[in-house]
Each structure stands twice: as C-alpha cells, then as structure tokens.
Structure 1
Amino acid sequence: MLLKFAYQDFLEDRKFKNTTKTNIKNYEMLLGKFVDYCIENEVVNAEDITFSHVRQHLMICQEKGDKAGTINTKLLRIRAFLNYMVECEVIKNNPAKKIKMQKDDVKIDVFTDDQIRQMLNFYRRIKQKEKSYFAYRDYMIIVTILGTGIRRGEIINLQWSDVDFVNQSISIFGKSRRKETIPITEKLVKELSGYQTFCKQNWGDISDFVFVKRGNTQMTENALMLIFKYLSQKMNFKDIRVSAHTFRHTFCHRLAMSGMSAFAIQKLMRHQNITVTMRYVAMWGNELREQNDKFNPLNNLEV
C-alpha cells in the first residue's frame, strides 16, 4: 500500500473513531514528518518500513534537539500508525515495537506566588486604566485555570450554562468525552459572577461561551496560545514556559503541597489513572520534605 495513502487512511480512521481535533493535529504534525522522511528516502510503500527507518528518523530528531519526552511522543504516534497497518493486514508485524522508550527525567516547572501576582497585576492595571474586556478576559482565564486546573480545550469550550453559581460547580467535557462536574470555591464564584456582569455591560447579549474573542465569538486554541505567548513576552520569566498547561501544573502542585490526598487530587485533575497523579506527587516529594523540615511542629519543641 502506498505510504501516502496509508497515512491518509489512518487519519480518516482516527477521525471516524472521534479522536479529538488536537490529537488529529498532533498526528498530522508528528507522524507527517516521519512519512515525509520515509518518502524522501525512497520508502514509498508502508510494507517497506523497517526498524531502521523508525530508529534513524528518531535519531535525526534527537540530533536536532528533541528531548526524550518529545522523542517518546513521536515514537508512540508512529507505533499507533503501524499498529493500524497490522490491523488492516498491510503488514504482519509492527517494527516500531522493538524500539524502547527513552528514559525521561521529567521536571515539571510551576509558577511561584510572585510570578502569579505579577501576571495578574499586569492585567489588573490594564483593566483599571482602559476598562478593557480583553484584559479582564485574560485575567479571568488565568484565575479560572488556577482555581480549577482545567485544560486549554476545556477553557475555550466552557459555557455559561456549565457554571452553577448556586451549587458552586462547573461542568466540563474532559479527555474521556464525558461530562464531569467539579467543585469551585466561593472566591472563584464571585470572580466569575463579576466577570459575567462586565460581559453583559460590554456586549449586551452575552455569548454562550465564557471566553470569547473579537466579534463575541468562541475562542480557538490558537487564540488562547497567542494570549500566553504575548504574556510570556511581557513577563520575560527565566526557565519557565508561560502556558495554560503550566497553570494546570501549578494548580496540581499547590494541591499536593497542601497535603491533599492523591485520590482527591486525581478527582480534581480528572486523571483517568491514579498512577499519573502519583507521578506528580512523587515528583514534588523533595519539596514536601523541605517544607516538612521547615515547618514541622517538632522543630520548636524540646523532646
């Protein structure tokens, strides 16, 4: 089977299986580069892909600066494609299965309290001076992620009908494609209520969506990424990425540091598997130890 047709057939299969648009884009970008590499090296049929082709492509990516986590993500995309080729009986075995995942020393950065204050104060000043909806919107996006840990796709799809001001909760469609309800604090309820009032004053008939762009239309993921890109340029923080996911990690970090149980964190973060949650808790274990050494009640007792 011609590789270019096999690749298109695979993408159509993912769409048919209701894979998210974000994952489809990831396949197009990451798997597409592998397909381009194969064709450039005269591998035009899917049956001709070998272990060496996969490994060589990943080695080139590594030489260009890809870290272990990125290499592993690309390998998973290639494996998925070749597994599909096995299912379609185009090939007998998946050559990418023989390639082991790279060891990834994951260090997840989170914002400090000072950094959070700087970002929020930046938008507060603009909002107060210019009465700008967009400054208020971007401020509330940060506050909402910090208060809930919801993902960027969930932020842009959040509707006012999903916000229950009375019962202090929001409903969202997560990665599992099912509706989930999570609690929100009284403080976030007040912030969202004030923001809704501002939207009504600004737009008149407000959109169904909580966060909108010019023309009162739903935001896109690209528009959200541009917000954080702009904020990153303004803040110029060293060695930390300003993104929706960093705010989500910060939310998780604060829960872990507070002593909340892993089970409760899993429910709020909506991790399908608690092993993912435990990885976060273990990652911040040294920091927990430092906090315990500093604040343990035995420190001030003569025993």
Structure 2
Amino acid sequence: MGILVECPNCKIRSSLSRRVCKCGNKVRKAGSRNYWIEYYLKGKRTRERIGRSKSAAENRLREVQTATAEDRNIQKNKNAVITIGALRDWYLDLPEVKQKRSFKAMAKCIEIVSDHLGEKKYASQISPADIQSFQRNRLSTNTIWGRPAKPATVNRNVANFKAMFNRALDYGIIEINPVIRVKQLEENNVRERLLSEEEFEVLYNHCSAQIKGPVLIAYYLPMRQAEILNLVWGEIDLKNQFIRLGGQRTKNKTGRAIPFNQRIFNYLISLPRPVHGGYVFEQRWWNRREFVKAVNMAGLGEFTFHDLRHCAINNLRLAGNDHFVIKQASGHKTDSAFQRYN
C-alpha cells in the first residue's frame, strides 16, 4: 500500500519519493499533479485516483488500511466514481432545484463551469486551482457581448457550481466538496448612473414601440424587469393608483404595493384593456437588442435596463418620499442592499 503521484506531462505514476519523472519533468514542483493510492484487494493490485489533494490521498489510504486490518469491505471513494457531467444531471433533476424560479440561470451557470473543467472529469480530479483557472479565464475572455464577464457574474457561476457540490455532499453522492474553500472575487457593482428628465426623454423617444412601456414604468417605479414584463391588469389599481404585487411575483417572495404617478396612470389608461384582464404587455421577454440600440442613439454609454431601477428610487426620493416608503416600494429588506441604489 502507498501513495503515488501522477506526472502531469506523461501521466506515469510513481512513488512520492521520486523527484524527477522518467520524462524529465520535476514532479515535486508540478502544480497540477494528481495523487493515487495503491492497495491490494483480494490479492489483486488496485489503484484509485484521489485527485490533487495530498491530504485527501493520505486520509483515503488510512481508511483502506483500517478496513483491511478489520477485515471489512473497502468502500470506494465516491468522488472517484462520479463525473462532473453526471453530477450536474443529477443535481438539475432534483425537484427542489427544478422548482426554483432561477432554475434556468442556475443551470446556465453550472454549464459554463462544467464546460471549462470538462464534463468527463471525475469529482476527485477537481481542485480549487481549477476554479481559480476558470475565474481567470472568464475575466479575460470576451463573452457574446464583446467584453469579459464581470466579477459579480463569475461569482454567480462559481456559487452555483459550489452549491451543486454541497447538495451532493448532503445526499451522500460525494464524500468531500473539493471547491468549498474557493474565495469569491471582489465585486464593485455599485451603479451610480442616473438619468436626468431630459436624458430620459431622449432615451424614451429613441425606444421602439415594443419597449416604450416597460422603459417608462422602470424609470418611475422601482420594479424589476420580470415584474414589469409579467404585469397583469388584476395587479393594477387604477382608482387608488397602486400596483400590488403578490409574494409569488417578487424576488424576495414578499408582496408589496407600489404607488404610481399621473404619467404612468395616463399611459396605463391609454392601453387596450381586455374584458377578462390578462397581461399588460403582449411580449413578455425583454428585447435587449432594441434597448441597447436606443441607448446608443441617445448617447448614454453603458447604461443598462437595471439602471432605470436606480433612477426610479432616486425619483421617489426627489419627490419627497422618506427612506421607509421607498424601501417598501422597491422591496429591499436590508439597508445595505438599499444603499447600493440610493
């Protein structure tokens, strides 16, 4: 019985005492070496890949030695028999995961990390260094939007990937979470871009008819994009000039009432309203291309739809509303989150 180290160049496995591999590579200084353990099972030599953690290899070897001394069956390392692809498929098929409103975003995050690491890699082969390599790659490689991903985006990718391992650990699918100690990147996602009334009117005039309504509501009311696009007539109280969202419609699952001004009132009553209610907007997916086109034509630089939420909160503040009224309308539960917008 013993621990073997695998050369990252030629994949030859040798004892820990060897400093230089047969291929000439200095194994002891190699940063991406994998550890294996070797033992005999019923007279047959068996080798088991552990991964890049030497301490994990030592712990696993002690388990095998103890099981052999006590004449018990040797349980195989669970991390060494399940691939990243299989783990992902299992996790995304869990009922409690599939019912989440952010399921599609979670699946996309895990897919991005899995594609970088390799679906056929075993869980025992994953190390914090692999995740750090992914972080560096995402921060330096252009996305489909023509720029590298921001730290907040990369953190969401890694957080969902770690959550998958944590859930597998809870269910006994794996024995250890190899990426639990990976630290998040420092984020600076505080947005300070606000539009004046004149700038907004320029933007609004350049918007196509398809997106004018959501843009107008987003500028005056602190609602999220999905809350606006899925707005139904039953949630609109024209008499008292309120939009009332139930808990199932908000991000924090807490219902809230949002007052609207005369301009929003005039816009809403100008829309055709079905007799039996229904959705306010026919199209319930956001046409980002049209919005970016309008932003560029208005000369607003890197202005995003979510920045309109900042504008709405600022507009409520300028209208004389106090801190608590604005928080209630925006749905922020904590002061720390609210301060990023205020």
If the length of structure 1 is used for normalisation, what is the TM-score?
0.72
Q: Among residues 81, 98, 101, which one is paired with 2:164 in the alignment?
A: 81
Q: For 2:333, what is the secondary structure of its paired residue?
A: coil
Amino acid at match of 1:76: A
Partner of 2:328: 267
Bigger shift: residues 168-177 or 155-164: 168-177
Unaligned runs of 5+ in 2: 1-81, 142-147
Q: Is the 8 A contact 2:92 2:98 kept in 1?
A: no
1:73-118 CA distance string (max 9 Å, x none):
2222222122112112223343333122222233412323322010
- Provide the C-alpha distance between the structure 2 equivalents of 1:266 and 1:97, rounded to a whole number of angstroms: 34
- Provide the C-alpha distance between the structure 1 equivalents of 2:103 and 2:217, rounded to a whole number of angstroms: 27
Tell which structure's C-alpha radius of gyration is larger: 2
- Provide the C-alpha distance between the structure 2 equivalents of 1:268 and 1:48, rounded to a whole number of angstroms: 48
- Provide the C-alpha distance between the structure 2 equivalents of 1:31 and 1:256, rounded to a whole number of angstroms: 39
**1:166 aligned onto 2:230:** no
Q: Is the 8 A contact 2:236 2:242 kept in 1?
A: yes
Superposed, 1:1-303 pairs within 5 Å as 1-13=82-94, 16=97, 18-20=99-101, 23-39=102-118, 43=121, 45-64=122-141, 65-108=148-191, 109-122=193-206, 135=209, 138-172=211-245, 173-194=249-270, 196=271, 199=272, 208-212=278-282, 219-221=283-285, 223-238=286-301, 240-243=302-305, 245-256=306-317, 260-281=321-342
Higher share of residues assigned strand: 2
- Provide the C-alpha distance between the structure 2 equivalents of 1:99 and 1:236, rounded to a whole number of angstroms: 40
Q: Is the 8 A contact 1:37 1:57 kept in 2?
A: yes
Partner of 1:126: none
Higher share of residues assigned helix: 1
Amino acid at match of 1:210: V
1:233-260 CA distance string (max 9 Å, x none):
433422x2242x1211211233456674
Measured after TM superposition, the shift of residue 19 of structure 1 is 0.9
- Provide the C-alpha distance between the structure 2 equivalents of 1:272 and 1:82, rounded to a whole number of angstroms: 29
Q: For 1:106, what is the secondary structure of its paired residue?
A: coil
Q: For 1:95, what is the secondary structure of its paired residue?
A: coil
Amino acid at match of 1:67: K
- Provide the C-alpha distance between the structure 1 equivalents of 2:223 and 2:287, rounded to a whole number of angstroms: 14
- Provide the C-alpha distance between the structure 1 equivalents of 2:318 and 2:175, rounded to a whole number of angstroms: 49
- Provide the C-alpha distance between the structure 2 equivalents of 1:157 and 1:33, rounded to a whole number of angstroms: 28
Amino acid at match of 2:150: K
- Provide the C-alpha distance between the structure 2 equivalents of 1:76 and 1:14, rounded to a whole number of angstroms: 20
Amino acid at match of 2:165: L
1:31-89 CA distance string (max 9 Å, x none):
2011112226x52x234322122122112212323332222222222221221121122
- Provide the C-alpha distance between the structure 2 equivalents of 1:258 and 1:166, rounded to a whole number of angstroms: 21
Q: Is the 8 A contact 2:220 2:311 kept in 1?
A: no
- Provide the C-alpha distance between the structure 2 equivalents of 1:144 and 1:175, rounded to a whole number of angstroms: 18
- Provide the C-alpha distance between the structure 2 equivalents of 1:81 and 1:256, rounded to a whole number of angstroms: 41
Q: For 2:256, what is the secondary structure of its paired residue?
A: strand
If the length of structure 2 is used for normalisation, what is the TM-score?
0.65
Q: Is the 8 A contact 1:82 1:94 kept in 2?
A: yes
Percentage identity across paired residues of the two chains: 18
Q: Is the 8 A contact 1:263 1:274 kept in 2?
A: no
Unaligned runs of 5+ in 1: 124-133, 213-218, 282-303
Amino acid at match of 2:334: N
C-alpha RMSD of matched pairs (Å):
2.7
Measured after TM superposition, the shift of residue 15 of structure 1 is 5.9
Q: For 1:98, what is the secondary structure of its paired residue?
A: coil
Amino acid at match of 2:93: E
Q: For 2:258, what is the secondary structure of its paired residue?
A: strand
1:2-54 CA distance string (max 9 Å, x none):
3212112222226656211xx222223222011112226x52x2343221221
